[in-house]
Amino acid sequence: MPTAAHEELIAQWREYRRRRSDREMAATADLEGDLRRHLGTLTEAGLAADEAFLVAVARLGRIDPASRAFVTASTDRFWQPTAAVSDTHRPDGGTATETLVALGLAVAAGIAVKIPELFGHTLSPNEELPPFYARNASLFVFPLLALYFVWKRKLSVAMAGWLALPFVAGAVAANVYPFADGSDTAVLTVLHLPIALWLAVGLAYTGLRWRGEGGRMNFVRFSGELAIYYVLIALGGGVFTGVTVTMFAAIDMQAEWFVFPWLVPCGAAGAVIVGSWLVETKQRVMENMAPVLTRLFTPLFTVLLLVFLATMAWTGNPINVEREVLILFDVLLAMVVGLVLYAVSARDPHAPPGFFDRLQLLLVVAALVVDGVALWAIAARINEFGFTPNRVAALGENLILLANLAGSAWLYANFLRRRDTFAALEQWQVSYLPVYSAWAALVVVVFPPLFGYR
């Protein structure tokens, strides 16, 4: 019998046929019976819900043009290529094997965090994060996450070698440069290296088929879901840590010696691998949550930006361009871009424009104005006090965000006026992803020697 997940997918197929024409709708009832029979057979054979549905509709497509069109239009909206889903859910014990691989890599990430202590780089609960750990944080985890996808996508040794190159380059840039004490370029390396290396993880996720149909958008969905899972794991980990300390304190034992040097850093590293594994194996659960969160935070961020602009106009106070403030603004604008990107990934590209699309356009326009004001403040500061690593980095990042937001606003407006398709906006967003990584790599590699490692 079809499951609840199947029923949701069947409803999408039925709605797609309804939008095509009444003539297509007339044949839906008969075809739905065939679809359900195919689903039952394929599910009993061990296929996952998404995979069984796609195969069943593809079989209908042999005699039904509407079903064939639905498969073509909808395949890239599912989480992974069919082959990847099949590997995850194959009935010969693949799920148990993948669980062991993911947990093994999570443990390896925790061990990687502790290895530098053998060479004098210690983690102490009473001190700030050492510069070595701050610069190398992503290198403890991202290579292992890429290795997980290398195994899962069954990439060759040669492909794995190519994927290793960005991580080797990142390790060299993070550890060979002679950064001065309190170096701004060292802080920029800490902030930008994870962004640069995330694209390498994306290449592994897509099986080195970055330009393949739906590959980049699937990686966007994966990134958003991983962020949600990681926050949930972190919240649970915080509760667990508090309970651990309290329980041992009740018997006059101090657990801090284990919790802060071991449990927290090793758990934080391993949680990235575990969260990625959860996204891969529990897709249907989070797929319903993510669009809800997008629709919740889009109006909140829209109101925040509009109130900020109104307050700034009313008071006449300019933006403070100190480093902490610039970082905050860049994070805010990046979150807006992320909301737009994820809303695009979760939307039916064939649905007509609606209220939420207009709200998204308002959010983009508000962010565009805020970015313009920030750029004006940064340019004025550079003109008055000269160039510094922080100001140049902020200038470049805000220009990149400005271009993305301007293009998004233009394409959203064209879509709302029905002068262009939603696919154009989707293509713009996914095509822009390497720009962020390229700029981050430039900051990591070029800025330290350019500014004398200060």
pLDDT tens for 243-288 read 888 888 877 778 877 888 888 899 999 999 999 998 887 655 555 5
- Same domain membership, residue 275 and residue 297: no
Residue 63 backbone phi and psi in degrees, to 5: -120, -10
If DSSP codes are grouped into helix, strand and coil, which group holds residue 341? Answer: helix
In terms of domains, do 147 and 273 share one?
A: yes
213 shares its domain with 319? no
Containing 62, the helix (H) or strand (E) segment is none
Mean pLDDT on 28-33: 69
Note whether 192 and 294 are same-domain residues.
no
Q: What is the pLDDT of residue 283?
A: 59
**DSSP annotation string for 63-99:** T-HHHHHHHHHHGGGSSS-HHHHHHHH-TTTHHHHHH
Q: Does 236 fall in a domain?
A: yes
116-125, 212-221, 428-437: range with lowest mean pLDDT: 212-221
The owner of tokens 């400005």 is 402
Residue-range definition of the domain harbouring residue 425: 288-450
For helices 355-385 and 283-315, what crossing angle results, to 10°? 50
Residue 311 lies in a domain: yes
> What is the rounded CA–CA span in Å between residue 102 and residue 141?
12
- Residue 428 in contact with residue 408, Cβ under 8 Å? yes
Boundary (domain end) residue, out of 261, 281, 301: 281
- Quote the CA–CA distance of 181 and 207 in Å, as a whole number: 40
| Chain centroid to CA 52 | 26
| Residue 197 clears pLDDT 90, i.e. is over it | yes
- Is the domain of 390 the same as that of 313? yes
Distance CA 337, CA 371 (A): 12
Last residue of a domain, one of 46, 78, 110: 78
pLDDT band at 224 (very low <50, low <70, confident <90, very high): confident
Regarding whether 241 and 297 lie in a shared domain, the answer is no
Choose among 57, 97, 63, 8: nearest CA to 280. Answer: 97
* Residue 337 and residue 267 in one domain: no
- The most confident of the ranges 62-71, 278-287, 323-332 is 323-332
- Regarding whether 254 and 140 lie in a shared domain, the answer is yes
Three-class secondary structure of residue 274 per DSSP: helix
Arithmetic mean of pLDDT, 157-170:
94
Is 411 found in the same domain as 393? yes
363 belongs to a structural domain: yes
Return the minimum-mean-pLDDT range out of 159-173, 238-252, 377-391. 238-252
- In a shared domain, residues 356 and 422: yes
Give the count of domains, the chain. Answer: 3
Q: How far is residue 321's CA from residue 120's CA, in Å, rounded to a whole number? A: 37
Same domain, 262 and 161: yes
What was the pLDDT predicted at 82? Answer: 39
pTM of the model: 0.76
In a domain, 83, yes or no: no
Q: Which H helix or E strand runs over 348?
A: none
Select from 230, 261, 281 the last residue of a domain. Answer: 281
